Structure 1
């Protein structure tokens, strides 16, 4: 039984989805049983020591940006590279399941069509694609290719229930919800006061923060805009934002620093920008509250299953999340829901969590239910069943 996992997420990136994907790949590789052979086809070569194993391959594709037919040219390049590597594996197609993790560029879109006509079983992992209205040729082409893939898939894993529900309403079967998870060995508790002191914060300061990519899309703007009122309510407060991304013709970091200066709160903020993933853990341990927000529209369309939610919890931080998400964590008492665009509700949530001062050990206990190992075992079980059943699940 052979499973070929294909992803274009760049796992060499220090923060953001690349590191989340790295955790998933390592857990899958470690969880594979004797009767399952895993192969990984990645976006590009990386110098990470964890993936030096012989079952890892990388695409051989010219990443030059073309004009006009750029997407189709990219798709053809990736298809050719995939076919070459697939043939090199020399596996019987009846004993192979190819799992594709799509990305927003659509570069893998021709691969499931080729697999379908070759009679090779395939599925999708972490599927978040939305079937958009065909207002133009681009959307029509995207939808046509997407539907070809979905119709032939033996299994489709979504990280959010909302995405799975949409696919089920459209008539697709074999849809599963496999949420995000956390590497509990990597994300562990450190002594908070001494860690704060080591990184230049007051030992008794109350730190609220965000850690991850695209911070302005994930609650950092709300954090800055609400800071003046929070400072009045919690005098020993400090704010930390770790991470950065491109922002139109600028960067998130520049925009955040500019906004903090405009609000006259820059001295209460620490902006680190992008830092190596191995240096992130101490900052997680400094946080009393972690911010894990997405817009109300995104909640409605996709839900909210950010991996940072579980990383916050694993390192003992209570969290602020969007309304209508993670009711289980609210019931556990480790999260407060807000309307993601409401400054008033954000401030109220901060005050609630400040006064509750939940014990860190209790918060981490909740995170133990969401380990990457358990998630990998669930994922592999779904894939094995899909491969065994010629007619789908």
Structure 2
């Protein structure tokens, strides 16, 4: 029976980021239940890198990750992982003060945002409705992430270092006996010293199949639609557009405009599909804030964002079995923090010091430990 140092359950971007950092020094296998990596949360992300409105602990991870994405290892990616886009924040009549307060909060945090008049906002996004927009500012600290290139970079690097990536392999169960895990998967059985739970919305299910207490990871559904814009609008040059209370957002996406009602509805872990009401809300907000008339929705989908009780990631050994390692609860920031979370988990698993960037950013691994819920 094949034996591995570490078995990672879940081949999304977080599981593969760990494999990238861990495979050079450990024998690693990654099990992905779908036939392709990143099918669920990773593949349905809005692909945005932003430091706005995250918890301070998450922003610290994001800053570490930004350095990796700006300057990835040689041969990791053939195209840039980040493309500057910027984010336009708008508020309608009655929300002028909320816009001002949000701008001042960003400035106090050292973010160089740009206050805009309504005219200047519409110059940046010409289809905004001037009767709707009452206040605005621009945040340049927003980038598009090339998620597929990032995901494939992790996978290619892990394979090159000797990791075995297995798709179509669902975890059926695992028993920890005599210091080793006996893992039963739909692809076959093997043994491992450590099992890492990087299974996103299925994290609690995987824990239960391994005889470990769940951590209370709850998946939430988020919806998005895309629509075509008039031919005279340069979609690629548009910023992301955010409602100041984050009721909705719009952004360019593959030549179309993506719109989301920013819904966050608890759901069962599954191949989630959009609800008609949420699709209707996305179209409604787009028509309310702009002069566009939505005659046809080009596409619609939903993805999962999985949260712990305090909405911070859960990273570290389980309290009831240290041979079971949690790497879950990344919410809507799993992609943008994946380099930092992969390094953090790899350092904890190998008992090696964290890179200096973690100390500079004041990252305390205890903030993410599963033991905080005990």
TM > 0.5 = no
Whose relative contact order is higher, 1 or 2, with alpha carbons under 8 Å and at least 6 apart?
2
With normalisation by structure 1, the TM-score equals 0.30
